[in-house]
A = this chain, B = another copy of it.
Amino acid sequence: MIEPTSLSLSGERFTATYDFHGDPADARSRAEALCVEQTIEFPADLVPDDDIRNHIIGRIESLEPVGADVTRAIVSYAVETTGFELPQLLNVLWGNSSILPGIRVVDVELAPSLLQRLPGPRFGIAGLRQLLDAPTRPLLATALKPMGSSTLRLAAAAHELALGGIDIIKDDHSLADQEFAPFHERVHVIAAAVRRANELSGHRSVYMPSVNAPYDQLDARVATALDAGAGALLVLPGLTGVDHMRHLAATAGVPIMAHPAFLGSFSSSAHSGIAHRTIYGTIMRLAGADLSVYPNHGGRFSFTPAECRSIVDALAAPLGTLRPAWPAPGGGMTLARVPEMLEFYGRDVTLLIGGDLFRGERLVTTATAFREAVER
């Protein structure tokens, strides 16, 4: 038994909701184990009746069946366990329990003191509407592809796409610093091409380079991108770390789009991982994404309409003073699907269509058709 500990805690707690898949008879003991695992990771029988036992160990606030073999637990944690930092918040939420079988995070509800330290999207829905001069319509986004293209070809494509009225022209998430189109060269040439197109068209298209880089080059690439006049940044938090995105949202001064590369394993099993709404919705927004990319239902991927809806809801739900963020469904979307997507998503959506715009004589023509389809 260790010595009793007395702590000065605020009493403020945040909650996470976990679904335990398996025999309901085991659910309480599994939830109790999770409460220990996510906090003290120490034999509970060695902790006296003190502040660590009563306040630091997670607390089961409710436990109830939500299906034949699913038991839902709401667990609260003292805000102080997070140190008020995002990486440790995620560690308390899902650090070691990610390794336990049959548990899925289905929601997280932060406390005011945590939300104060996570300002979230800098632009959000309204800020991007203002920046892009799009007071009410959906936004249009596309990606510069395919990998292997030269900087000049990508820049020519960007020029046409901007002339056609695409709001956000992003690097494909596969563009890093390959020799085909090196980062430094690419961002300068493409940003200039989009700028010239805007001068001709009167649009406010932005070029959004991808800043997927080694740790020690992240700051330099962001600086290069901003210096070149990039109007937004594409971030891959699954590869560069979720907190890198928070940092960029706080410091870069341009809109941030989160790409789900490498994150799919969190949502790929219905019995474990992190629910779609939480990983692509709440967590991306807490980490400052102005736009969150995910694969739309009916494309190359397997998200259901309900999963897509849950992401949209999480990006827009009340969350302290955090701004709502844009859903950016993509993944094999086509011009033909625009009316149906607008019916599903309404106005507050960024439609992301990549390869399909290359079907046709000229990019400027298909881009214009995309713009007109959205404005109708």
Contacts and interface: CB of A to CB of B under 8 A. Distances in A.
A337 to B, nearest CB: 15
Interface in A246-265: 246-247, 251, 260-265
Interface string A234-277: 00101111111011000100000000111111111101111000
A275 to B, nearest CB: 11
Interface residues of A, number: 93
17 contacts: A40-B145, A42-B355, A43-B358, A51-B148, A80-B178, A81-B174, A85-B213, A87-B176, A90-B239, A95-B238, A95-B239, A98-B263, A99-B264, A99-B331, A100-B264, A265-B266, A268-B269
Interface stretch (A2-10, A107-115, A321-329, A341-349): A2-10
Interface string A195-215: 000000000000000001111
A313 interface: no
A305 interface: no
A68 interface: no
Interface of A: 2-3, 5, 7, 33, 37-43, 46-47, 51-52, 55-56, 80-83, 85-88, 90-92, 94-101, 143, 145-150, 153, 172-174, 176-180, 212-216, 236, 238-244, 246-247, 251, 260-269, 271-274, 295, 300-302, 331, 354-356, 358-359
Q: Sorted from nearest, which 4 A-B pairs have the closest CB atoms?
A: A98-B264, A99-B264, A241-B241, A40-B146
Nearest to A239: B87
B174 A92 contact: yes
Nearest to A180: B7
Nearest to A56: B148
A96 B332 CA distance: 12
Contact of A41 (B91, B146, B153, B273): B146
Nearest to A97: B264
A38 B146 CA distance: 11
Contact of A215 (B83, B146, B244): B244
A146 B52 contact: yes
A267 to B, nearest CB: 8
Nearest to A183: B83
A198 to B, nearest CB: 24
A76 B178 CA distance: 17
A3 to B, nearest CB: 7
Contacts of A94: 262, 265
Contacts of A263: 98-99
A153 B239 CA distance: 36
A331 B41 CA distance: 9
A43 B178 contact: no
A261 B98 contact: yes
Contacts of A239: 87, 90-91, 95, 241-243
A177 B359 contact: no
Contacts of A246: 214-215
Given A85-B214, A214-B87, A241-B215, A301 B99 contact: yes
Contacts of A33: 300
Given A214-B243, A243-B214, A300 B80 contact: no
Contacts of A51: 148
A41 B354 contact: yes
A37 B236 contact: no
B99 A295 contact: yes
Nearest to A177: B83
